[in-house]
């Protein structure tokens, strides 16, 4: 991992600051909400105790079997028009309850004001069968008519029914059926309206006509002539007790409720008998950025959607915390909405009389003040810490970029210096006062020492050859003089071995001075124009004679390759390469000599099978006195490839060595003057 990424990861540790701040905000919000919850719990308990004096306003708990079949009378704000439409009831559509019959669904709802009880019914019926013109059709006649029966009773056995049937859509006359008979009731106002797939009924019934228990039955008859009937009923022949809001409890609740609070009072079965107050809809401060609010919504404690805190549209409160209160246990709940920003704390307390819960007080309050306070604190926290984090990350990233660039420049400069002959140049950042400056100065000193050593090695051969030439001449002349003196056989043997050693020393000195002579020849040689391909063809034939144990092949697609330079020096360069190839190949191996035109340069290649070059030697192979030979070949001073490099660079070219599959290839690229492609392949 590079330095830039390391510092970037280190900079991410600054994210611990906003995380710690968010934890503080979370704890603060929880503590404030708990405080508000405790306040509401105390208030709800006080209200529950106050409502015990209105014991008579709470209906008795019904049997469990009929609890869900009780009729709830919604308190209507205004008097709806009896026209078959539900929109003027000012109730949500969810307030409609559902009956599931054999033919389809029936939706109904009851409402009430001080004078009357209202009924609205929607019936799914593909075939509406109307009644005849005579009342007997609705009673004991053929009974082929769709009708709705509203069953009412006050005491067991005292039961009456209001029958709603019509001979055509529009206003209709209802009939009352009881033990005395069957008669019309003009005081009941009703309207029948056909709709696609069924019909609607809306009716207004004076309170005096209905008892304390109500039931609903919907009868769908078959087509005319079919005696079968299908019905769906709500309580059927056993009406259930009706429940409606208490005017007294509503008045008391309105006096006790505080602003931004909602107070619900239920009976023992959970039916709502009073409601007062309202909650503000999301007054949380929204001046901050949207992402701040979203972050806030993520870190605060989650709760149920705020819509679940709304009063039940069908009148019966069945939230778990309310059910617990009806069982005698005080409980709280927490609601919040991400969309509207609404948050609500709700507490339910039981109303207990004689150790029995006769109802519950539900107190709800919005937490806008808490949310606004914590939201503002979170906004400030996020703005400061996030800005600080981004600033630190940018600064560290910039610093890491600048630092890594300095190190990269130093590394590249050191590699370039090692690959070039001049090792005396200063490296980047050498004047800096930091650790990188110290490293650059240390590298510069090392490179200077290495450059001086390389310069010493380059001149060592010429110096040794110059210094040893005179002593060698003295030794040689002394040996020649000894040959003219009378010597015994042993002395002659010693003299012969001394002469052989002097000859070997002379050859070594000649090799050591060869590089200096090549440099002088390159400086003084007169360049001439010649055909390089012809020169290579001639030398290839000569190599076959000299190295009979090897096979040589010249491969080129050029018929002619004109070049300006010194053919003698190029042949000398090729001799060094061939000598090297022979040393590292086995008898019978094929040594390939190639000539090609590549990017306006003539490339001479010598390829031989043998061991690959070590990777670290590829750039040092052409330096002075560097050799890879072992065994008997250690007598070589490592000047051959150095001379080859001098000749190649003297002609404006370059030389390189590459490992290939099964061998090594030396390539010399020299700028071409003219090359003619042809069909010649081998010489």
Continuous segment of H or E residues that includes residue 357: strand 356-366
Q: Which residues contact 23 (CB under 8 A, 6 or more apart)?
A: none
Q: Which residues contact 20 (CB under 8 A, 6 or more apart)?
A: none
Domain end point (choices 189, 208, 236) = 236
Range of the domain at 450: 435-519
pLDDT above 80: residue 503: no
pLDDT above 50: residue 624: yes
- 68 and 44 both lie in a single domain: no
3-state secondary structure of 481: helix
Query: Is residue 85 in some structural domain?
Result: yes
The whole-chain average pLDDT of the chain stands at 80
pLDDT of residue 142: 37
Domain end point (choices 471, 491, 519) = 519
- 515 and 529 both lie in a single domain: no
- Rg of the chain's alpha carbons, rounded to an integer? 56
pLDDT above 90: residue 112: yes
The CA distance from 282 to 289, in Å, is 16
pLDDT above 50: residue 7: yes
Q: Quick one: average pLDDT of 254-282?
A: 87
User: What CATH number corresponds to the domain at position 172?
Assistant: 2.60.40.1190
- 48 and 76 both lie in a single domain: no
pLDDT above 50: residue 683: no
pLDDT band at 228 (very low <50, low <70, confident <90, very high): low
pLDDT band at 416 (very low <50, low <70, confident <90, very high): confident
The CA distance from 342 to 559, in Å, is 91
* Strands 240-244 and 71-75, bridge-based pairing: parallel
Q: Quick one: average pLDDT of 423-444?
A: 79
- 665 and 530 both lie in a single domain: yes
pLDDT of residue 281: 60
pLDDT of residue 118: 97
User: What CATH number corresponds to the domain at position 609?
Assistant: 3.30.565.10
How many structural domains is the chain composed of? 4
3-state SS, 4-45, equals HHHHHHHHHHHHHHHHHHHHHHHHHHHHHHHHHHHHHHHHHH
Query: Is residue 352 in some structural domain?
Result: yes
Q: Quick one: average pLDDT of 355-383?
A: 73
pLDDT above 70: residue 425: no
How many Cα atoms are found within 13 Å in the side-chain-facing hemisphere of 605?
Answer: 20
pLDDT above 90: residue 286: no
Q: What is the pLDDT of residues 43-63, one digit of tens each?
A: 999 999 999 999 988 987 665
Say how far residue 161 (Cα) sits from the centre of its chain: 67
Q: Quick one: average pLDDT of 232-252?
A: 79
Q: Quick one: average pLDDT of 251-273?
A: 91
Other C-beta atoms within 10 Å of 676: how many?
12
User: What CATH number corresponds to the domain at position 467?
Assistant: 1.20.58
Return the closest-CA partner of residue 573 out of 521, 642, 621: 642
Other C-beta atoms within 10 Å of 226: how many?
10
pLDDT of residue 326: 92
Q: Which residues contact 360 (CB under 8 A, 6 or more apart)?
A: 48, 265, 266, 270, 317, 322, 325, 326, 348, 349, 350, 351
pLDDT of residue 472: 74
pLDDT of residue 339: 60
The CA distance from 667 to 648, in Å, is 10
CA torsion, points 369, 370, 374, 379, in degrees to nearest 10?
A: -30
- 36 and 91 both lie in a single domain: no
pLDDT above 60: residue 129: yes
Least confident of 141-155, 176-190, 291-305, 446-460: 291-305
- 68 and 215 both lie in a single domain: yes
Strands (E), 525-673: 528-531, 551-556, 558-565, 590-597, 601-609, 654-660, 663-671
pLDDT above 50: residue 136: no
Give the number of residues written for the chain. Answer: 683
Higher pLDDT, 355 or 140: 355
The CA distance from 51 to 58, in Å, is 10
Query: Is residue 408 in some structural domain?
Result: no
pLDDT above 80: residue 646: yes
Query: Is residue 7 in some structural domain?
Result: no
Query: Is residue 616 in some structural domain?
Result: yes
Query: Is residue 640 in some structural domain?
Result: yes
Q: Which residues contact 91 (CB under 8 A, 6 or more apart)?
A: 74, 76, 109, 111, 313
Least confident of 82-91, 154-163, 383-392: 383-392
The CA distance from 57 to 251, in Å, is 12
Return the closest-CA partner of residue 209 out of 283, 335, 119: 119
Query: Is residue 420 in some structural domain?
Result: no
Burial class (CB in 10 A: 0-12, 13-18, 19+), 193: middle
pLDDT band at 329 (very low <50, low <70, confident <90, very high): very high
- 215 and 332 both lie in a single domain: no
pLDDT of residue 15: 67
- 270 and 192 both lie in a single domain: no
Structure tokens at 140: 């004991």
- 546 and 671 both lie in a single domain: yes
How many Cα atoms are found within 13 Å in the side-chain-facing hemisphere of 534?
Answer: 8
- Highest mean pLDDT: which range of 381-390, 523-532, 558-567: 558-567
User: What CATH number corresponds to the domain at position 335?
Assistant: 3.30.450.20
pLDDT band at 262 (very low <50, low <70, confident <90, very high): very high
pLDDT of residue 110: 95
pLDDT of residue 391: 80
Domain end point (choices 376, 396, 416) = 376
Query: Is residue 683 in some structural domain?
Result: no
pLDDT band at 376 (very low <50, low <70, confident <90, very high): low
- Highest mean pLDDT: which range of 226-230, 514-518, 640-644: 640-644
Q: Quick one: average pLDDT of 577-592?
A: 91
What does the DSSP assignment read for 299-351? HSPP-B-GGGGSPPTTSB---HHHHHHHTT--EEEEEE-TTT--EEEEEEEEE
- 515 and 531 both lie in a single domain: no
The CA distance from 253 to 425, in Å, is 94
pLDDT band at 103 (very low <50, low <70, confident <90, very high): low
CB-based contact 214:238 (threshold 8 Å) = no
- 208 and 318 both lie in a single domain: no
Q: Quick one: average pLDDT of 628-649?
A: 70
Structure tokens at 467: 């210094």
Under DSSP, the state recorded for 599 is S
∠ CA(224), CA(229), CA(234), 5° rounding?
Answer: 135
Higher pLDDT, 487 or 49: 49
pLDDT above 90: residue 325: yes
- 263 and 335 both lie in a single domain: yes
The CA distance from 30 to 27, in Å, is 5
Q: Which residues contact 328 (CB under 8 A, 6 or more apart)?
A: 350, 352, 357
């Amino acid at each position: 991992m590079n330095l830039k990424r390391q510092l970037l990861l280190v900079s991410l540790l600054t994210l611990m600051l906003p995380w710690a701040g968010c934890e503080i905000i979370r704890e603060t919000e929880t503590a404030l909400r708990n405080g508000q919850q405790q306040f509401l719990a105390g208030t709800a308990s006080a209200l529950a105790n106050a409502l015990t004096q209105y014991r008579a306003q709470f209906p008795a708990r019904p049997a469990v079997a009929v609890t869900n079949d009780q009729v709830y009378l919604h308190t209507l704000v205004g008097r709806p028009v009896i026209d078959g439409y539900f929109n003027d009831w000012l109730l949500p559509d969810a307030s409609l309850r559902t009956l599931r019959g054999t033919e389809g669904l029936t939706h109904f709802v009851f409402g009430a004001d001080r004078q009357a009880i209202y009924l609205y019914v929607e019936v799914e019926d593909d075939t509406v069968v109307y009644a005849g013109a005579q009342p007997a059709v609705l009673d004991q006649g053929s009974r082929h008519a769709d009708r709705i029966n509203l069953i009412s009773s006050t005491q067991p056995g005292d039961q009456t029914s209001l029958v709603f049937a019509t001979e055509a859509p529009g206003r209709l006359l209802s009939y009352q059926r009881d033990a005395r008979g069957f008669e019309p009731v003009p005081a009941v106002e009703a309207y029948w309206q056909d709709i696609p797939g069924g019909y609607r009924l809306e009716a207004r019934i004076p309170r005096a006509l209905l008892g304390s228990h109500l039931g609903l039955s919907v009868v769908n008859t078959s087509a005319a002539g079919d005696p079968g009937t299908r019905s769906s009923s709500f309580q059927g022949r056993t009406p259930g007790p009706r429940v409606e809001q208490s005017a007294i409890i509503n008045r008391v609740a309105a006096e006790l409720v505080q602003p931004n609070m909602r107070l619900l009072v239920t009976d023992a079965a959970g039916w709502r008998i009073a409601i007062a107050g309202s909650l503000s809809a999301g007054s949380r401060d929204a001046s901050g950025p949207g992402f701040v609010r979203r972050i806030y919504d993520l870190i605060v404690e989650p709760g149920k959607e705020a819509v679940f805190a709304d009063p039940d549209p069908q009148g019966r409160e069945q939230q778990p915390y309310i059910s617990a209160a009806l069982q005698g246990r005080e409980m709280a709940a927490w609601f919040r909405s991400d969309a509207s920003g609404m948050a609500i704390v709700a507490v339910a307390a039981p109303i207990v009389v004689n150790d029995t819960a006769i109802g519950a007080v539900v107190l709800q309050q919005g937490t806008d003040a808490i949310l606004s306070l914590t939201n503002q604190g979170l906004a400030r926290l996020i703005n400061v810490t996030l800005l600080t984090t981004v600033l630190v990350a940018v600064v560290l990233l910039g610093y890491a970029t600048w630092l890594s660039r300095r190190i990269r420049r130093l590394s590249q400069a050191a590699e370039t210096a090692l690959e070039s002959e001049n090792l005396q140049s200063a490296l980047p950042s050498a004047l800096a006062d930091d650790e990188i400056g110290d490293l650059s100065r240390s590298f510069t000193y090392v490179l200077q020492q290495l450059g001086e050593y390389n310069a010493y090695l380059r001149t060592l051969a010429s110096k040794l050859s110059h210094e040893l030439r005179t002593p060698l001449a003295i030794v040689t002349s002394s040996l020649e003089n000894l040959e003219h003196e009378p010597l015994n056989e042993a002395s002659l043997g010693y003299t012969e071995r001394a002469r052989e050693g002097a000859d070997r020393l002379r050859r070594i000195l000649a090799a050591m001075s060869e590089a200096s002579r090549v440099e002088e020849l390159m400086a003084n040689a007169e360049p001439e124009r010649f055909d390089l391909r012809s020169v290579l063809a001639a030398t290839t034939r000569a190599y076959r004679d000299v190295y009979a144990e090897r096979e040589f092949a010249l491969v080129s697609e050029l018929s002619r390759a004109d070049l300006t330079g010194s053919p003698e020096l190029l042949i000398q360069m090729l001799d060094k390469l061939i000598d090297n190839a022979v040393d590292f190949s086995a008898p019978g191996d094929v040594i390939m000599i190639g000539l090609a035109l590549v990017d306006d340069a003539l490339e001479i290649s010598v390829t031989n099978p043998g061991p690959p070059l070590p990777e670290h030697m590829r750039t040092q192979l052409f330096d002075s006195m560097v050799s890879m030979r072992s065994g008997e070949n250690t007598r070589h001073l490592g000047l051959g490839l150095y001379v080859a490099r001098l000749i190649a660079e003297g002609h404006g070219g370059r030389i390189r060595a590459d490992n290939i599959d099964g061998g090594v290839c030396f390539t010399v690229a020299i700028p071409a003057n003219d090359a003619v492609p042809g069909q010649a392949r081998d010489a």
